[in-house]
């Protein structure tokens, strides 16, 4: 799938999300779902969180974080991506949001999907990000690469998504966001 087809498929479903609720709780976050356009191939960029972090150490995530006072969700996603990996907003074409994603830690995430032009170099913030890696979009579009499993969390059994890729384990909210994106594209 190339960028124009990706954009068309994604935008086709945006009207279906028009009724989305605004994020109003104090635990609000926004992430950027960066789809890097290499011309002949699209790849998703992921971060691996630093091991010393209090929440979700070492887990795979998208660039993002808490929304600051008087900040839009789009502004928060772009700011966090710049702070965490050095992504320049001039390289970002925001397409829209996916459905809100609740987390087991009480946050509500607003995922912003964007087509991103490749950067010559990334600047990782070592206090937040241990590593970054890319995965071809085609990997996620193949059903055999998307899994679900049950896990007891906080006294409840939760159905979680998982998407392994070359020794990386993408799961939880990040995998749920990827599942939503794939559902929207297929």
Band (20; pLDDT cuts 50, 70, 90): very low
136-186 tens-digit pLDDT:
999 999 999 998 888 887 788 888 888 989 989 898 899 999 999 999 898
Band (49; pLDDT cuts 50, 70, 90): confident
Task: Say if 92 falls within a structural domain.
Answer: yes
Higher pLDDT, 19 or 151: 151
Task: Say if 132 falls within a structural domain.
Answer: yes
Task: Say if 63 falls within a structural domain.
Answer: yes
Task: Say if 56 falls within a structural domain.
Answer: yes
86-122 tens-digit pLDDT:
999 999 999 999 999 988 777 889 999 999 999 888 9
CB-based contact 87:37 (threshold 8 Å): no
Query: Is residue 30's pLDDT more than 80?
Result: yes
The CATH number of the domain where 60 resides is what?
3.90.79.10
The label of the residue with tokens 């702070």 reads 83
CA dihedral 88, 23, 57, 116 (to 10 degrees): -20
User: Per mean pLDDT, which range of 15-24, 47-56, 75-84 is the poorest?
Assistant: 15-24
35-46 tens-digit pLDDT:
999 999 999 999
Residue 115: domain span: 3-143
Task: Say if 26 falls within a structural domain.
Answer: yes
Task: Say if 182 falls within a structural domain.
Answer: no
Structural domain count, the chain: 1
Q: What is the CA radius of gyration of the chain?
A: 16
Task: Say if 36 falls within a structural domain.
Answer: yes
Task: Say if 169 falls within a structural domain.
Answer: no
């Amino acid at each position: 799938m190339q960028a124009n087809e990706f954009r068309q498929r994604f935008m086709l479903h945006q009207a279906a999300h028009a009724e989305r609720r605004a994020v109003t709780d104090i635990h609000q976050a926004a992430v950027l779902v960066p789809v890097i356009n290499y011309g002949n191939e699209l790849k998703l960029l992921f971060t691996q969180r630093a091991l010393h972090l209090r929440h979700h150490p070492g887990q795979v995530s998208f660039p993002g974080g808490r929304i600051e006072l008087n900040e839009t969700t789009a502004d928060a996603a772009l700011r966090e991506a710049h702070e965490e990996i050095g992504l320049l907003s001039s390289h970002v074409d925001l397409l829209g949001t996916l459905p809100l994603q609740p987390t087991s830690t009480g946050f509500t995430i607003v995922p912003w999907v964007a087509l991103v032009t490749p950067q010559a170099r990334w600047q990782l913030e070592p206090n937040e990000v241990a590593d970054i890696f890319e995965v071809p979009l085609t990997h996620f579009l193949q059903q055999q690469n998307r899994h679900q499993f049950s896990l007891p969390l906080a006294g409840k059994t939760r159905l979680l998504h998982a998407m392994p890729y070359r020794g990386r384990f993408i799961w939880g909210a990040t995998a749920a966001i990827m599942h939503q994106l794939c559902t929207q594209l297929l």
